[in-house]
Amino acid sequence: MEGLNILIVEDEEIPAELLRQEINQRLPESIIEVRGSFSEALDLIRGGPHIDVVVLDLYEGSLQRENLRGQTIWDIVWNQRFLPIIVFTAGEVELEPQLPEGNPFVTVVRKGGEAVPKVVDRIAAIRPHVLAVRDVHGAVDRAIQSVLRSSAPLIWRLGIQDDAQRAGMLVRSVRRRLAATMDLGTLLEEGMKAWEMYVIPPVEGNLLTGDLLQRREAPIGEAASFLLVLSPSCDLIIRPNGKPNLDRVLVAKCEPVSGLIDSVRSLARIKTAELPERLPHVLTQPHIGGRVPLPSLEGVIPAMAANLRSLDLINMEDISREGSPDKPFSRVASIDSPFREQVVWAFLSVAGRPGVPDRDFQEWAAELAREGTSQA
């Protein structure tokens, strides 16, 4: 088994040794570093990507606020170099920022009793995911190396003499090419999962076209509680004075996939038994009978469809943003490009379709067939 690199930060020799022995026994492939000095531990964390998990005591000596040496390490881990961390302490956990709730990579284990086995249980539980995080770091590092090799010579050939301007261009070029390289690697090596069209949580602070909203307190798995934002992104920006460009947001109501499947059957004339084979081709379309298919993300978003003919307007002030108080609607996810643009195209093709009277298509078709045959 591939081993983890584990750092134990503990100024008391006995608990540090008990932890080391328990980890060696349960996870013998692990490489363990024990540091009684908080400053030495900090140097290790800052020194590079070779630490996978930190087991952190908070207090050096007595459990007094002035001895809370773990605060500095927590600050570095949370704000500069995130690492899976297990806070192992007998004192109060008075850290800033506060430990997040629901993050699987941040755990508190109180000293005493069966605390040492609990720490190792936690390390064993997150081990596969820690290795996945290590793979992500490796992929990013390799991409950065590739981008620097190719981008730097080009920027220097541009002949820019101002060092600050050239440095700024290097940062922007590497950052942009890095994002494209990572996306391309996913497409070429693995192919995208359907749910990878979502960005969760959203990155952009402003609402965007294609954002998914959910009614507050709605049950998980209920498609009807979701709404798909259709208003243009440029109109959703909050101005510097804190006011939005729009008072109300145009949304499409979501519904269970049964309506989508009914549309597939009627429009594409697909029998139920043929769905598994023929549905993948249908899903390449921007919309199916005015419905945009949306993939599931288990526990967050159900499999559903946004009905572009079932629209509503909701107040911008009723939508919660990051750090804002709870409101009737919360922003769950963004739909990434180019899928966001595909939603726009689908809406335009439905809402912008000109209404025309019925014509005798049968006679028209017969005429075209006659003319086409005679001209051949």
SS3 of the chain: the string is: CCCCEEEEECCCHHHHHHHHHHHHHHCCCCEEEEECCHHHHHHHHHCCCCCCEEEECCCCCCCCHHHCCHHHHHHHHHHCCCCCEEEEECCCCCCCCCCCCCCCCEEEEECCCCHHHHHHHHHHHHHHHHHHHHHHHHHHHHHHHHHHHHHHHHHHHCCCCCHHHHHHHHHHHHHHHHHHHHHHHHHHHCCCCHHHHEECCCCCCCCCCCCEEEECCCCCCCHHHEEEECCCHHHCCECCCCCECCCEEEEEEEEEHHHHHHHHHHHCCCCHHHHHHHHHHHCCCCCECCEEEECCECCCECCEEEEEEEEEEEEHHHEECCCCCCCCEEEEEEECCCHHHHHHHHHHHHHCCCCCCCCCHHHHHHHHHHHHHHHC
Mean pLDDT across 190-205? 87
Q: Which domains does the chain have, with CATH numbers?
A: 5-129 (3.40.50.2300), 140-193 (no CATH), 198-351 (2.30.30.110)
The mean pLDDT of 53-70, rounded to a whole number, is 88
Is the pLDDT at 185 greater than 90? The verdict is: no
For the ranges 16-20, 203-207, 370-374, the lowest mean pLDDT is seen at 370-374
Whether the pLDDT of residue 92 is over 90: the answer is no
- pLDDT bucket at 375, cuts 50 / 70 / 90: low
**Mean of the per-residue pLDDT values of the chain:** 89
- Is the model more confident about 268 or about 37? 37
Give the pLDDT of residue 208.
Answer: 94
The predicted model gives 1-10 an average pLDDT of 90
Which of the given ranges, 236-240, 261-265, 327-331, has the highest pLDDT on average? Answer: 327-331
